[in-house]
Each structure stands twice: as C-alpha cells, then as structure tokens.
Amino acid sequence: MPEGDTIYRAAVNLGAAMAGRELVRSDFRVPSLATADLAGERIDEVRAVGKHLLMRGERFTIHSHAGMDGLWHVLAPGSRAPVPGHTIRVVLATDEHEIVGSSLPVLELLPRDRDLETLDYLGPDLLDPDWDDAKAAEAARRLRATGAPVGVALLDQHAVAGLGNVYRGELCFLRGVHPATPIEDVEVEPLIALARRLMVANRDRTERTFTGDARRGRRTWVYGRGGQPCLRCGTRIRDAQLGLEDGMLRQVQWCPRCQPEPSALSR
C-alpha cells in the first residue's frame, strides 16, 4: 500500500498538472458518481493527508485513497493509460493533460468547505507542513492509547497518519525494538521523531532508502529481506505475520539479534 511519502509525491505531480487549471471534462466510472460532471471546475490545489489524496476545487473536492493497488497517471491528451481499461475509475481532463485514476478503492466527491472534516479521524500527518511539537506530542499520545504492540500501533491511522508496512518494519529496526513489543514498553517520542525525519527525507526521492544506500537490495534494513543476513550484524532476518485490530495478518520482518523479543527484554 502506498505510504505517506508516495502519496505526497503523487500530490506534487498531480498539482503541477492540475492546480490553477479548469477541468474541461470528467468521466467517473464508479456507480455512485456516474452522473457527476465537473467540467468547468477549477482545481485550486492537490493535497496529501496521510495516505489520502485531495484534489480541491472551487466547489468540490475529489477524495481518493489508493488502497493496495491504486494509481494516478498524468498523460498527454489522447494518450492511453498504462493500465487495463477495466481498472480505470476516473478520467479528468484539462486543456493540457488527462489525469487517470485506476484501481482506487475510495473515490468520492466532498463539499470543498467541509472536505478536511471527513479526515478528522486521522492522527497527525507526518508530512503536515505545519508539524510542530504539539502534533508530535499528540501522535505519541495516540500511539500509547492504542495499547497494541508497536508493530500494530504504527499502522493505526487513527494514531499517526502516513505509515505503512515498510516504515513500521524499518522504524522498529532502527529503534532496536521487536515489532511485538507492547507500546507501553517503547520510547514513543523518539520513534515519532524518527518517523517524521525519515518521511521528510524520502518524500522527494523516487526510490526511498532507509539505509542511506540507494542501490537495489540495499535500501531497507529488514523490509522484504526475510531469510537474508542483517546488514548490521549478519544474523538471518526473521519473517512472520503480525495481527491487526481489523483481523488482517501482515508480514513483518526483524533481526532477532538487533531487535530482541519482548520476553528477552524483560529478563
């Protein structure tokens, strides 16, 4: 699933093509919006909020969430989108570009004057341009309030917005914390500060890196490296599933030497 830095880059790219321009055509291919026509609507800005994307117009905001496979494509007029036609959910045209959204599980129109209220349930956004100590403290408070293992809490968008599977694995490694460690046993404030620094550092990179090495196969410490040697100590990386509150199990990786299990921490 695209994480906050990926959605941020999408917002920047889409904003360059759309902001300040008027839509000359819209074609929504979801039943709830089948009759919607935004021709004549000027898009003021494209904004990322956590994993959500807001195309904010004069009257309406197009809100989308990419889910696991969603993508936005900026094309020249008449160009063919590089995805199967049946996955296309919307086509938005300006006088210079066609913007195509594919495989979007969430696509809706919101009143512009109340669009941000729809996302009030989200925790502080790590890429909020107005991030400050108060928002960092609120994120820490919300993480603690989950009462979940740290590897589950970091994925809770109600606590902090923008993190996904890659970031939670890398953050746990860099802080030397096993993903199953109870959140109450974790130093939350440094974890949030590191998450913010990493997200800011990666938001303008085409290929994110957590190690400082941009070479393929060397960009992450543990994510996607199950069974491979730890880049720090050489111990074989473990790979298992960790449950979430929604009942889903997601893969998580860790180094058993660099990130001792919670029981080992308590001895």
CATH number of the structural domain spanning residue 259 = 1.10.8.50
Here the tokens at position 76 are 């020249």
2 catalytic per annotation: yes
Within-domain flag for 124: no
Which of 9, 51, 219, 238 is flagged as catalytic? 51
Catalytic-residue membership of 135: no
- Sheet containing strand 25-28, strands side by side: 25-28, 88-93, 98-102, 71-75
CATH number at residue 78: 3.20.190.10
Within 10 Å of residue 216's Cβ, how many Cβ atoms? 7
Please check whether residue 126 lies inside any domain of the structure: no
Please check whether residues 148 and 254 belong to one and the same domain: yes
Residues 103 and 152 in one domain: no
Same domain for 179 and 109? no
Q: What is the pLDDT of residues 213-260, one digit of tens each?
A: 999 889 999 999 999 999 999 999 999 887 655 556 678 999 999 999
Residues 258 and 150 in one domain: yes
245 in a structural domain: yes
Of 111, 120, 9, 128, whose CA–CA distance to 57 is shortest? 111
- Residue numbers of the domain that contains 77: 4-119
Question: Could you confirm whether 51 is annotated as catalytic?
Answer: yes
Candidate list 144, 250, 261, 262, residue with the active-site label = 250
pLDDT digits (tens, 9 = 90+) for 142-192: 999 999 999 999 999 999 999 999 999 999 999 999 999 999 999 999 999
The domain tally of the chain equals 2
Task: Judge if 139 and 108 occupy the same domain.
Answer: no
Instruction: Based on the fold, state whether residues 84 and 165 are members of the same structural domain.
Output: no
Q: Cα–Cα distance between 45 and 14 in angstroms, integer?
A: 9
